[in-house]
Structure 1
Amino acid sequence: MTPRSRLLKSLLLAAGVLAGSLLSGTAGAQGPRIYGLTPKPIAPDTYVFEGSTEHFTRDNGGNILNAAFIVTADGVIVIQTGPSRRYGEEMRAAIRRVTDKPVRKTYISNLHPDYFLGAQAFAPEAPVAALPGTIAGIREEGPGIAENMYRMIGDWMRGTEVVIPDEPVFGSTVVFGDHRLRLIPLHGHTAADLALFDETTGVLFAGGVVFCGRTPTTPHADVADWLKALDAVEALDGVRLLVPNHGHIRPDKACVAQTRDWLTWLDATLRAAVEAGLDMTDALELPIPERFHGLGVLRAEYRRSVAHLWPRIERESLPRVN
């Protein structure tokens, strides 16, 4: 097989694996579409809605994210809005059970569906803020992302429409009441990843760059940049509690190392496979080291990452010769 035909075969395989992933979990039990969101207090004035460590399915309605809110003297700050209008509405109702203060602002960390598709429940009463790269990504890819979610989780998505964030944010520190929030622009998991560090409580909302007990997802990933983002998170002082957007909340930065370990192994393994002359079908079945076996959706997410990353790695290893 020539290098050109190997590359074409890999691209076709990538499309097939991604299509299969989008259709996974489409058969689910029918019943009332209720997320049953319960805010968990994790620090003064600070609450999290803990999601599962699964894939999007019609059973869980796409509830795989740790959305959060902070009650300040100036109003409520929302961090992520969940995967659907229904989720956002339940989230807002749960917030009202905690406080009668209005939502002051909503922050979206990246363009993945479970971060922004619940924003209808908060806009236009409260500004929806995100990094410029996230705003551009949602504007360009949002309709297609929503379409995929309608196919994957079905009736949970009823009435959900894309809301494009209307307030660009940059690296800065903002004050809401007695809470100082440091807005930290990163990239690597996607082209624009916003982390928020509450300097008042020491809670770091790490966005999508840190996964904890759950295999990282890579549809928009640049691994080299992602590793640099993890270095930036590791260097932050004063972190008392780390909230990953996917996985377990921890009082330390252990999952920064866990995410770095996975990405380093994944990138090195796929590059070695290409250099050894393997094709993508071979790479899909490569063994995964035992130290990763406790991560959620391990083999399925590994295969998705092969589909996401293999074509680029293969192109880099087979440069065009003029």
Structure 2
Amino acid sequence: MRRLHGALLALAMLAGGAQAQDLDYRLAPRPVAPDVWVLQGANADFARANGCNIINTGFIDTGDGVMVINTGPSLRYGEQQREAISRVTRAPVRWVFNLNLHPDYFFGNQAYADVGAQALPGTMAGAQREGAAYADNLYRLCGDWMQSTVSTPPTLPVAPGERTFGRHRIELIRFDGHTDDDLVVIDHTSGVIFAGGLVFRNRIPTTPHADIARWLASLDRLQAIVARHHGYVLIPSHGPALDHADAIAQTRQYLRWLDARLRRAAEDGRDLAEVLAMPVADEYAHWAGMPAEYVRNVTHFYPRYESAALVP
């Protein structure tokens, strides 16, 4: 009996160790430019298989401390992100920025409690307002990956503008459209733009807080900035971080197509089920996020178009 008990205990320990190993995000910093790295997430939907890690986070070793850009979907991610940073540099983390209110941008903030996270005021308010609902959803979708994670919204307001962080000249710019407050971080020293949720690459955009007209206007502003700084590397928060595909053009084209499709369908008197049954244009049919994200896009937006079509 004693041997059996010992064997069972050993098996339980092995199972626990295997489970802990399975919950490893395997974060591998990829150099983007001098002093700048990105941690690429899966180009997919939230799922247990990817630990709900579908975001590209990044960090900059400024020479006077590390700047972290987005902290991922869980406490576990934030801890492993911080450990990954320590493998690259011994510099301490001094700044953390959350680029918008969506959960994978700030749910790793717990791992940076000693630093504090900064964001635009609308992001701070939105994360506070929706954090509990986000947590419920991510625990349901991601299971054990979320263990001990508590929604930890940013508490330090960002003032947009240009500042010097160590040896890096950083510009913080406020946009909107993807959400009410979208922060973009431009490292002029290294020539890297962290564009947040304003742009998606090879992926259907997420739209729960979006306004298409404002989003398109922001893309035009961002495109003008990119044109002025030819050669800068643009990092989207979702989709392949380093790729030749023009993420701004892709996102703009998709939003215009979606807007035109929904407007025409509403004018034709189609109901939601009919719109969802319409085939998706070939250029988007194989993007990540299909069909689930597209269905969410249509379900979210279409009632507005129906209401507008009824106005004389």
TM-score, scaled relative to structure 1: 0.87
Query: Matches of 1:252 and 1:183 in 2, distance apart?
Result: 24
Query: Matches of 1:305 and 1:54 in 2, distance apart?
Result: 16
Answering whether residue 44 of structure 2 is matched by residue 41 of structure 1, we say no
RCO higher in structure (CA 8 A, sep ≥6)? 1
User: Which residue of 116, 138, 144 corresponds with 1:155?
Assistant: 144
Letter in 1 for 2:74: S
Aligned counterpart, 1:114: 104
Note the C-alpha offset of 1:279.
0.3
Aligned counterpart, 2:16: none
Structure number with bigger Rg: 2
Aligned counterpart, 2:294: 302
User: Which residue of 152, 169, 172 corresponds with 1:183?
Assistant: 172
Q: Give the alignment of 1:126-275 within 5 angstroms.
A: 126-236=115-225, 237-238=228-229, 239-250=231-242, 254-275=246-267
Note the C-alpha offset of 1:175.
1.1
The 1:183–1:253 alpha-carbon spacing in structure 2 relative to 1, beyond 3 Å, is: farther
The 1:57–1:253 alpha-carbon spacing in structure 2 relative to 1, beyond 3 Å, is: closer
Note the C-alpha offset of 1:85.
0.3
Aligned length: 291
Unpaired runs of at least 5, structure 2: 1-18
Note the C-alpha offset of 1:259.
0.4
Query: Matches of 1:91 and 1:142 in 2, distance apart?
Result: 21
**Quick check: 2:201–2:245 contact (8 Å CA) kept in 1?**
no
* Stretch moving more, 109-118 or 282-291: 282-291
Letter in 1 for 2:106: F
Query: Matches of 2:131 and 2:210 in 1, distance apart?
Result: 17
**Quick check: 1:240–1:251 contact (8 Å CA) kept in 2?**
no
Note the C-alpha offset of 1:316.
2.2
* Stretch moving more, 251-260 or 237-246: 251-260
**Quick check: 2:109–2:116 contact (8 Å CA) kept in 1?**
no
Query: Matches of 2:308 and 2:174 in 1, distance apart?
Result: 28
Query: Matches of 1:155 and 1:206 in 2, distance apart?
Result: 30
Answering whether residue 58 of structure 2 is matched by residue 73 of structure 1, we say no
Letter in 2 for 1:155: D
**Quick check: 1:47–1:69 contact (8 Å CA) kept in 2?**
yes
Aligned counterpart, 1:9: none
User: Which residue of 73, 76, 88 corresponds with 1:86?
Assistant: 76
Query: Matches of 2:46 and 2:276 in 1, distance apart?
Result: 21
Aligned counterpart, 1:17: none
Local SS of the residue matching 2:48: coil
**Quick check: 1:241–1:251 contact (8 Å CA) kept in 2?**
no
Query: Matches of 1:215 and 1:164 in 2, distance apart?
Result: 26
Which whole-Å deviations, capped at 9, do the CAs of 1:155-177 have from their partners, x for residues lacking one?
Answer: 11111111121211132112111
Local SS of the residue matching 1:208: strand
The two structures, once aligned, show a CA RMSD in angstroms of 1.7
Aligned counterpart, 2:279: 287
Answering whether residue 299 of structure 2 is matched by residue 318 of structure 1, we say no
Query: Matches of 1:164 and 1:246 in 2, distance apart?
Result: 21
Query: Matches of 2:305 and 2:285 in 1, distance apart?
Result: 25
Answering whether residue 89 of structure 2 is matched by residue 99 of structure 1, we say yes
Local SS of the residue matching 1:274: helix
